[in-house]
Structure 1
Amino acid sequence: MFYNALRGLVLKVLYPFLMFLGAFFKKRKEGFQRFVISLNNRLIRKQKFRTRKILLLLPHCLQIDKCTIRLTHNIYNCERCGRCEIRDLIGIADENGLDLFVATGGTLARKIVLESRPEAIVAVACERDLSSGIVDTFPMPVMGISNERPFGPCFNTRVDLEKVKEAIRFFSGN
C-alpha cells in the first residue's frame, strides 16, 4: 500500500512538475520521462504484484514499414515473416496466455485498456507515450519498456524481448 501511494505521488505530482521543467529544458524532457518510467517500474517491483490477466500493449511502429498488413485491428493477421519483432511478441503472448494489442497512440491505448480490463500491463512505447500512459492508467500497475529507435521516432522501432519476458515473469510470478 505504501509503495502504491508513493507511486501515486510520483505520477500525479513529480511527473507534472518534471514535464513543466521539460518545457524549459527541452533537451532533458526525455530524460525526465525515462526517470519517471524507471521509478514507476521500481515501485511496482516493491509491491510484488501477481496476476495472470496481463495485457501486452505495443506501439504500431514496431511493425516494419515495408509490411503491407496493418496490425492495429488484429495483430494476429501478422504473416510472421520475421522482419520485425511482432512474430516473437505474438509467440511470447501466446506462451503466457496474454491479451496482446497494437495501438497507434494514446487514445486507442486507453480504449484497449478499458475494453480488455487487465489487472496489469506490460507496455512498450517511446518515453513520451509510455510516461503519459502510465500516469493515465494509475493505479493499475504498468511495467514500461522503452522502445529502441535506431531509425528515429515512430519508424521501424525495436524492443528488447528479454525485458518484455522479464516483466511478464514478474507479474505472473514465474
Structure 2
Amino acid sequence: MEFIDKKVVSINNLMLKFRKKKCTPKNLLILFPHCIQNSQCKQNVKNDLSECKRCGKCKIKDLLEFSEKYGVNICLATGGRVALQKVMAEDIHGVIAIACEKELRTGLMAAMSKAIFAVPNLRPHGYCKDTDVYLDEVREAIEQFLQ
C-alpha cells in the first residue's frame, strides 16, 4: 500500500505543477504534523505555535520562519479531522501539506477540490516520532504558489 500512497502523492504534485495554481500569501497554508516536533521538547506547540522557543532541534523553527518571511498561514495538525477543517476553510486556496504518504493520500482524497502540494516527511526514527522534512521542497512549493 505504501507504493500506492507514494504514487498518489507524486501524481497529485505533478498535476498541481501543470495547473499552475497561484494564490496570495493570506490564502496559502502550510500544514504540518505534530510529529515534526522533537519528542524531547517540553514546549506545548500543539495548542499554540508561539510557544515554540525556536531552538532548532526540529524543523518547526524553520517552518515558522517561512510563514513569517512569505506572510503565509501555518498550522500544526493534531489529527486528520483538524487538518481537513483547516484545509477546507473558505479563505484557503492553496495548501502545502507535510505528512507521511498515507496521511497525505487520505487528505488529498478528502480535500480534492483544493490545490494541495504534498510534501512527504522523513521518518528516520519510524512513523510519528521526530519526523523531518526537506525544507527546500517546502520553500519551492511556497514560491510556486506565490509567483
TM norm structure 1: 0.80
- Mapped pair 1:51 → 2:23: yes
Q: What's 2:113 paired with?
A: 139
| CA distance in 1: counterparts of 2:88 and 2:44, whole angstroms | 22
| CA distance in 1: counterparts of 2:6 and 2:113, whole angstroms | 19
| CA distance in 1: counterparts of 2:65 and 2:20, whole angstroms | 25
| CA distance in 1: counterparts of 2:103 and 2:126, whole angstroms | 15
SS at match of 1:87: helix
| CA distance in 2: counterparts of 1:78 and 1:157, whole angstroms | 17
RMSD across aligned positions (CA): 1.1
Q: Is the 8 A contact 1:58 1:102 kept in 2?
A: yes
Alignment of 1:1-174 (within 5 A): 29-52=1-24, 53-115=27-89, 117-173=91-147
> Which range moves more in the overlay, 97-106 or 149-158?
97-106
| CA distance in 1: counterparts of 2:109 and 2:53, whole angstroms | 34
Identity percentage over the alignment?
A: 32
| CA distance in 1: counterparts of 2:120 and 2:88, whole angstroms | 22
TM norm structure 2: 0.95
Task: Tell me how far 1:117 sits from its aligned partner.
Answer: 3.0
Letter in 2 for 1:45: K
Letter in 1 for 2:76: V
More helix per residue: 1 or 2? 1
Task: Tell me how far 1:133 sits from its aligned partner.
Answer: 0.5
Identify which of structures 1 and 2 has the higher relative contact order when contacts are C-alpha pairs closer than 8 Å and 6+ apart. Answer: 2
- What are the ranges of 5 or more consecutive residues in structure 1 without an aligned counterpart? 1-28
Q: Is the 8 A contact 1:76 1:90 kept in 2?
A: no
Letter in 2 for 1:77: E
Greater radius of gyration (CA) = 1
- What are the ranges of 5 or more consecutive residues in structure 2 without an aligned counterpart? none
| CA distance in 1: counterparts of 2:119 and 2:84, whole angstroms | 17
